Amino acid sequence: MTTATSRAMNTSPSEGIPLYLRIGMSLRTRINHGEWPEDATLPSFESLAKEYGVSLNTIRGAIQLLVNEGFVTSSRGVGTKVLARPIHHSHLRSSISDPLELAEHVSIEIIESQEVSHLPTNLQEHYLGCESYRKITKTHSIGQLHFAWLEIYVDKQCYNKFPKNAERHSKISKLLRNTRQAQIQSSREELTVVSATPELSSALNYPLTAPIVQLRRWRMNPNGQVLYACIASYRSDHFVWDVTRVENSQAHFDEHIIPKISKSKS
C-alpha cells in the first residue's frame, strides 16, 4: 500500500465507519487478493501502524477483527499468521460476472418469495411493466459468508414456467433464458457504489455505511416490457467484476449486454 493510500485511509471521510473497521476491511481485502497467502506472516503491528498512519491500538483492533472472523491467528512471539483465504476470486468471479452459472462452492438461500403487482420505484424508470411479478429475495454465500443480497423481480407468467423450486439452485437469468415464454430483446446494467443500510449491514454481516457495490439490471422483451429486474448488492471486499467481450457473437447473454463504446473519429 502506498503512502498516499495510507494517508487517504487516515484522513478521508469515513461516513461513520470506525477507523479500525476500515483498516480491518483493507487487510481482509489484501488477504483475499493473495498479497499474504495461507500460512504467511503479516507485517508487525508497528509496520502496519506506520504504513496506515494510525496508532498501535487501531491496528490491534483491526487484527482482532480478523482473528474473530477466522482470517488470521495472532500471538506474541509468533506474529499474525493467515489461516486461510476463505474465498477464492475464481469463485466470486464466475458467480458475480457470469449471468447464468454459480460457482461450485456458492449456495443460494431464498429469504422471501411473493407475488407483487409492479416493480418498485427504484427499478421502474421509463420502462413498461408486466401485469404482475414474482419478487425473490435471496443471498449468495460461500461457506458461512453472505457476499451478495439480491432482490429480483421476474414476470409472473415466465416464473410460472420455471421448474418447481428451481430458483433455489439456479440463477433466475438462466431459468429465464431457458423459458420459451421469455423473448428478450435488450438488457441494461448499471453499477454503482453505495453505503450499507441497516438491512444490508445485518444481511451481509458488514459494517453499517461501509461501501456496497450495487448492480441494477433489466431485461426487456420486444414490446419494451421488463421481464426481469434486479438489485444486487455485494460486499465491496468480496466483489470481482470480470467480463470478456466476444466479437460477432449473437448470444443474448454475452457481448450483447455490454454497452457499446463509439470510436472517436481520427
User: pLDDT of 215-233, one tens digit each?
Assistant: 999 999 999 999 999 999 9
- Asked if pLDDT for residue 245 goes beyond 70, the answer is no
**Helix/strand/coil (H, E, C) string of the chain?**
CCHHHHHHHHHCCCCCCCHHHHHHHHHHHHHHCCCCCCCCECCCHHHHHHHHCCCHHHHHHHHHHHHHHCCEEEECCCEEEECCCCCCHHHHHHHHHCCCCCCCCEEEEEEEEEEECCCCHHHHCCCECCCCEEEEEEEEEECCEEEEEEEEEEEHHHHCCCCCCHHHCCCHHHHHHCCCCCCCCEEEEEEEEEECCHHHHHHHCCCCCCEEEEEEEEEECCCCEEEEEEEEEEEHHHCCCCCCCCCCCCCCCCHHHCCCCCCCCC
* pLDDT of the residue at 265: 46
Query: Region 143-168: what's the mean pLDDT?
Result: 93
pLDDT in tens, 98-110: 888 888 889 999 9
Going from the N-terminus, what domains does the chain have, and what CATH number goes with each? Answer: 3-82 (1.10.10.10), 89-255 (3.40.1410.10)
In this structure, of 107-111, 131-135, 236-240, the range with the lowest mean pLDDT score is 236-240
